[in-house]
Structure 1
Amino acid sequence: HTPCWRRLKRLEAEGVIVGRAVILDAKLLGLTVNVFANLRLKQHDEETLDALEREVCNHHEIIDCFSMSGDSDYILRVSARSIEDYEQFLKKVLLHLPGVSSINSSFALKSVKMATSLPI
């Protein structure tokens, strides 16, 4: 085996590499709308936070979810086919997430940089 292959296997064994992914072209799949939804919660108890995080993981439209400091409690990145599709997802899912008091949605105009690598 090559040195590169051995290093790759070592990094996997050490847990540095936690998985591999295929990167799909969202535009070719018709997912042309990226939305950043800033969530504020009514309460911040452990039960509410755990319930929200579990529920977020059940929806494939939510690409990323970050717990935040500052004005928002969470920021979600949602992928949708259209603004109308996002509106339906907002009404049917996001507004019913556990503990949510308000959502402020911003629509990405274009992707300038989208990295999958870490700065190592």
Structure 2
Amino acid sequence: MTTTPDPLDSFDRQILDIVQRDNQRKAEAIAQQVGLSASAVQRRLKRLRAQGVIRAEVAVLDRQAVGPSVTLIAGIEIDRDNYPALAAFRAWAAREDAIQQVYYVTGTTDLVAVVMARDMAAYDALCERLMTDIPQIRRINTQVVIDAIKVGLQVPV
């Protein structure tokens, strides 16, 4: 159950910095690094999870090890002033595992999405479904990622 998070103190911030880089690190090692007892670290982690500050703990896979895929950056344009289409896209994207990240942005596009697909045919099928399901999508401008120089999900704490 998510509750309103307590303000984060410096110990919480240090712990969060450590666990978002390696959530398998033992409480004893974290405690030694931040200057608390292992039980204090465990209590803090439990509270941070319960309050939703730590939203998920996942395995980050080696992209090469799991087989071929392509990463794409899609700039998505929606017909002007069409907020219902934006809400529909939010719900649609939440159901699509291929869509890794989406940002509502300023500029020439309305949304920027990071997409991982098995191949270009799978990406084309995704775009076709999107434009069929949400006809207010005016255009999708796609860039194919040649090399992922840095991929990270760490949040500055």
Normalized against structure 1, the TM-score is what? 0.84
SS at structure 1 position matched to 2:47: helix
Match of 2:72 in 1: 35
Unaligned runs of 5+ in 1: none
CA–CA distance in 2 between the matches of 1:81 and 1:13? 35
Describe the SS at the equivalent of 1:2: helix
Aligned residues, how many? 119
Q: Secondary structure at the match of 1:93?
A: helix
* Unpaired runs of at least 5, structure 2: 1-37
Which runs of 4 or more aligned residues in structure 1 lie more than 6 Å from their structure 2 counterparts after TM superposition? none
CA separation of 1:74 and 1:97: change in aligned 2, threshold 3 A: farther
Across the aligned residues of Structure 1 and Structure 2, the Cα RMSD in angstroms comes to 1.9
SS at match of 2:146: coil
Hey, what does 1:74 align to over in structure 2? 111
Tell me the TM-score normalised to structure 2 length. Answer: 0.66
1:40 Cα deviation from its structure 2 partner:
0.6
Ranked by relative contact order (alpha carbons within 8 Å, sequence separation 6 or more), the top structure is 1
**Which one has the largest radius of gyration?**
2
CA distance in 2, matches of 1:42, 1:113: 33
Q: 1:105 Cα deviation (Å)?
A: 0.2
> 1:33–1:81: 8 Å Cα contact kept in structure 2?
yes
Secondary structure of 1:117 counterpart: coil
Question: 95, 99, 106: which is aligned to 1:62?
Answer: 99
Looking at secondary structure, tell me which structure has more strand per residue.
Answer: 1
Q: Secondary structure at the match of 1:6?
A: helix
SS at match of 2:122: helix
Aligned to 1:100: 137
Displacement after TM superposition at 1:117 (Å):
1.5
